[in-house]
Each structure stands twice: as C-alpha cells, then as structure tokens.
Chains A and B, each alone.
Chain A
Amino acid sequence: AQRVTQPEKLLSVFKGAPVELKCNYSYSGSPELFWYVQYSRQRLQLLLRHISRESIKGFTADLNKGETSFHLKKPFAQEEDSAMYYCALSGGASGTYKYIFGTGTRLKVLA
C-alpha cells in the first residue's frame, strides 16, 4: 500500500540546535517526494522537492531509496522555522497521479 509516515507529531528544539524531521514512505515504484510547510495563518506551500536537489531556507532532504526515507534536515534551527511540516509523495502508475501526504510534524523552535 502507498503510505507516507511521519512518526513525530511534535518536535521541539532550541534555537541553534540541529533539526531532523523524519519521513518514510512505502511505494511500489519510484515516487516524487516533497516537503510542504504551513506557517501560522499562511497557506500550505512547497518547501522543497527531491527532484530539484535544492536547499531552501537552510533545509535539505536526501532521498534514501534503500531505507525509503526522505528526512528533512537543518543544521541550525531558527524561531521562524516553527510551523507544520508535511512530507508528501506523488506517484504515477497506469495513468493515475495521486498525492499522498503524511500526518505532519509540528516543529517548535524554542528561544
């Protein structure tokens, strides 16, 4: 079954500490992986996607096909990183193009 798992509902870290938000997926094929972020009172927006291999706001995510993981990392957390983070995948097989989101992790960066 296609599934995205984010094991942590809430992650609290101190400002300046490293952050890692975990994401594991289950998919029979090679999906596209994304991280979306929802800041307070703002719309859900794309943070980064694995196909771009980019770093946004200091965040990076590496796709590990062996472990079927796409963990989000940042070396030094900032207070403005506090938000809800969703890992998502899209997969196309036989002409279907669904998106599957994880349950989300709320990141709180403490001063």
Chain B
Amino acid sequence: EAQVTQNPRYLITVTGKKLTVTCSQNMNHEYMSWYRQDPGLGLRQIYYSMNVEVTDKGDVPEGYKVSRKEKRNFPLILESPSPNQTSLYFCASSQLMPGLAGLSNEQFFGPGTRLTVL
C-alpha cells in the first residue's frame, strides 16, 4: 500500500532531551516536507526536501534539523526540545513536477506525531 509512515505516533519527553521523529514513504517521491499543526495557526512548514541531500527551510525551522540521505526517509530531529515545540507534526511527500509557478502535485500526508515536551 502506498503510504507515508511516521514514528512514533505519540511522544512525551522532557526539555533538552534529543529526539528524532522518523518519516518514510514508499512512493518514490522526490519532495518531502515536515509541518507542525497548532490550534489557531493551521499547518506551518518546518523544512522541505526536493531530493536526496537537498533540503531547505520552511517558515518555522528554528529548533529543528532534518536530513535526506535516502530518497524514502526524511527524519525530523529536535536537538534540544523545548515546551514551545509541543505540537502535532505531519510529514508529507509528493512527486516533483514543478509547474510554472510551484508544485502542482498532490501531497500525501502521514498520520501525525503528537509530541509533548515537558
């Protein structure tokens, strides 16, 4: 089944303890992205990747790192989590077929990871 998977689905941690949220897709998509969803703020893009070893900042990258060493995986790393990073995180992927303006293809989303930082 074509899908985007995230692990873990739920995580409670303490301030300063490094953590990684994994994201994997089996659709051979070039484009992958991380978002956080907060009440009243909608989805905000953290980082995205156009392909292996190609990553760039979204609108809220502070406090996060990513890597894209393989096409299928795009882990999100919080080196020193803080309470303001408590949120619901979504990974997404899409085929890369840039239109004249931007990306015109559908993004496929993972199930989400609910992170609580105490």
Asked if B104 contacts A49 (CB within 8 A), the reply is yes
Min CB–CB distance B55 → chain A (angstroms) = 12
Interface residues on B, range: 20 to 34
In the complex, are the beta carbons of A101 and B102 less than 8 A apart?
no
Most buried by B among A6, A88, A90: A90
Which residue of chain A has the shortest Cβ distance to B54 in the bound complex?
Answer: A95
Which residues of A, 33-89, contact B by the 8 Å Cβ criterion? Answer: 36, 43-46, 49, 51, 86, 88-89
The 8 A CB mask of B30-63 against A (1 = contact, 0 = none) is: 0101010000111111001010000010110000
Bitwise, B101-113 to A at CB < 8 A (1) or not (0) is 1111011011110
Contacting pair B59 A98 (CB below 8 A): yes
Q: What are the residues of chain B within 8 A of A102 when measuring CB–CB?
A: 42
Of A45, A99, A104, which is within 8 A of B103 by CB? A99
**B42 contacts which of A31, A49, A101 (Cβ < 8 Å)?**
A101
List chain B residues, Cβ under 8 A from A90: 101-104
Is A16 engaged at the interface, CB distance under 8 Å to the other chain?
no
Chain A contact patch, size range: 20 to 34
Q: How far is the CB of B8 from chain A (nearest CB, A)?
A: 17
Interchain nearest-CB distance for A10 vs B (Å)? 12
Q: Is the contact region of chain A dominated by helix, strand, or loop, or is it mixed?
A: strand
Q: Would you call B102 and A49 a contact (CB within 8 A)? A: no
Chain B, 63-118, CB within 8 A of any chain A CB: 90, 92, 98-104, 106-107, 109-112
Contact B31 A97 (CB under 8 A): yes
A45-B100 contact in complex given A98-B48, A103-B40, C-beta closer than 8 Å: no
- Tell me the A1-36 residues at the B interface (CB within 8 Å): 6, 9, 29-32, 36
Q: Is the CB of A101 within 8 A of B35?
A: yes
Most buried by A among B31, B40, B103: B103
Q: Given A51-B99, A100-B59, A103-B42, are A43 and B104 also a contact pair (CB < 8 Å)?
A: no
Write 21 A-B pairs (CB below 8 A) sorted by A numbering.
A31-B101, A31-B102, A32-B99, A32-B101, A32-B103, A43-B109, A43-B112, A44-B43, A44-B92, A51-B99, A51-B104, A90-B101, A90-B102, A92-B101, A97-B48, A97-B50, A97-B103, A100-B45, A102-B42, A103-B41, A104-B42
